[in-house]
Structure 1
Amino acid sequence: MSRRTRLMTLLMPLCLIVSGALAGQSYAAQSVTAVYYSQGHAITVVTKSDGTSHVFVATLADGAKTPPAAGSGAVIMEPVECSIGGAYAHGQLCGVNRVRWSGWHPTIYFIDYTGADWPVYEAAVVWNQSTALNVGYRGPWACPGPGYNCVDVNALNYYDDCGPSAPPNTWVGCTDYTISGLTIVDANIRIDTGFTSNLANNQKVTCHEMGHALGLDHNVWNDSCLYYAPRMSTTVNPNWGDFAMLEDIY
């Protein structure tokens, strides 16, 4: 993969909601630590009683706006200088503070429950071009077993929320993960089929969500599927900056 001249860095907030929450899940007993709003996205951090954090990264539907969650502080993410070619790590964190799956050159399996409209296999093949980690594809119920890094990918017409700050019918993709310290210990992806589009747009959304599950934030350039509005991206694939950032994280 060629290395281009390092591009000027621009602020772009996290894209998709990360959430494995089930329909009707209550957050009353948990503390909403922060809510971040940016163009087309809402990110909520919920601190759990065991000290871990549950992060919800929501990619909002076109025109959707969500109010701040009750009792939380709504803030706008500020620019940081931790970009590589327009790509950011999760939360725009820098250096050793970046969130990642554990281990050297970890393997992350994407378990596909979606169906033919959502090209999870094709996106996994592309992400597996990274030399920083291994990305595997498996069919339904095919996680190798306990202790393996498996990310379920589901596509349904959802009527539940994607964290406290993204109500039903406002989000396209929802990737949620649990973080212990700086380690991702669990992640899930939900795609709302109520916003199903053509195959190319569906692959952009799939690639985008899978990038978040690997530990990436948004890319500021539209030649990446991690562009803040994935369906406005000019490609179904990551760009060189996304792969370079994975090298830096892992």
Structure 2
Amino acid sequence: MMRRPAFISVATVVMLAVSMASSAAANHWNHDPGHNVHWTNSSPSFPRGYVYWADLTGPEWPVYSAAIEWDRSTRLDAVYVGAGSSCPSTPHCVTVRQTALGTSCSGTLGQTNVSYYSATGHLETSTRVDLSSACSTSSASKRRTITCHELGHSIGMDEQRTADDSCMVDPYVTPHTLPSAHDFQSIATVYNHDD
């Protein structure tokens, strides 16, 4: 297991499935003002919000390198957990896996299922990232964008609807493979508190 402090995620998606712990849809994403879905900082080992990403994908998915980019955030601690390892703290563990989401890499490229507590906005263990097995032979750039985008969702980020250089831009097929300065500003705002 390799500890990587302060990172969010990297991936591209055409469809986002949201499994919420309550019906408070307005509290769902963090690019819009007032939305505060986030991981807690309830551990003395992590003074900021924190998350473990358990990578169950194969070598074709750049989960580790995408995680490094999200790790540049100053308000979120993240731990990359490689294949064959498990999260030491299940309440903050996001499973990242490759799965069948369609027959081609033109429909659903990735999917992040997010659960959170409506009263606090805290993400919970059942948060999971699925990367489409149909995209596993796509270009390295496309796989990196998909991974960046989906990991971003797993920490509470929404699609951006502006002309930004972010992997979180909507529409989902974008040449951008990294989080942008705006993404990091959003993270700093949402994770800038103690809980």
State if a TM-score over 0.5 links the two structures. yes
**Contact 1:45–1:54 (Cα < 8 Å) also in 2:** no
Higher strand share: 1
- For residue 111 of structure 1, report the CA deviation from its aligned partner: 1.0
Say whether residues 1:202 and 2:143 are aligned partners. Answer: yes
For residue 191 of structure 1, what is the aligned residue in structure 2? 131
Cα distance in 2, alignment partners of residues 190 and 54 from structure 1: 23
Q: Name the residue aligned to 1:145.
A: 88
Residue of structure 2 in register with 1:11 after alignment: none
Does the 8 Å contact 2:48/2:75 carry over to 1?
Answer: yes
Q: Which amino acid aligns with 2:33?
A: C
Which one has more relative contact order, counting CA pairs under 8 Å at least 6 apart?
Answer: 2
Aligned equivalents of 2:23, 2:110: Cα separation in 1: 16
Task: After TM superposition, list the pairs within 5 Å mapping 1:16-165 onto structure 2.
Answer: 16=13, 41=15, 52-53=21-22, 90=29, 93-95=32-34, 97-103=35-41, 104-158=47-101
In 2, Cα distance between the equivalents of 1:158 and 1:43? 12
User: How far is 1:204 from its partner?
Assistant: 0.4
Partner of 2:186: 245
Q: Is the 8 A contact 1:222 1:232 kept in 2?
A: no
Moved more, 174-183 or 147-156: 147-156
Q: Which amino acid aligns with 1:53?
A: S
Cα distance change on mapping 1:92 and 1:246 into 2, 3 Å: closer
Q: Which runs of 5+ in 1 are unaligned?
A: 1-14, 17-39, 47-51, 56-76, 78-88, 161-168
Between the two proteins, the alignment pairs up a number of residues equal to 167
The gaps in structure 2 that reach 5 residues or longer are: 1-11, 42-46
The answer as to whether partners of 2:16 and 2:112 remain within 8 angstroms in 1 is no
Alpha-carbon contact 2:39-2:155 (below 8 Å) kept = yes
SS in 1 for 2:51: strand
Under a length normalisation based on structure 1, what TM-score does the superposition of the two structures give? 0.58
Deviations 1:40-82 (A, max 9, x none): 5465566xxxxx2389xxxxxxxxxxxxxxxxxxxxx9xxxxx
Q: Following TM superposition, by how much is the alpha carbon of 1:203 offset from its aligned partner in structure 2, in angstroms?
A: 0.2
1:176 aligned residue (109, 113, 118): 113
Does the aligned pair in 1 maintain the 2:148–2:167 contact within 8 Å? Answer: yes
TM-score, normalised via structure 2 length: 0.73
Residues 206-243 of structure 1 show CA distances to partners (whole Å, capped at 9, x for unaligned) of 0000001011101223411001134323x210110000
Give the percent of matched residue pairs that are identical in Structure 1 and Structure 2: 25
Pick the structure with greater CA Rg: 1
* Distance in 2 (alpha carbons) for counterparts of 1:174 and 1:101: 19
Is residue 2:166 matched to residue 1:224? yes
The alpha-carbon deviation at position 116 of structure 1 amounts to: 1.4
**Aligned partner of residue 173 in structure 2, secondary structure:** helix
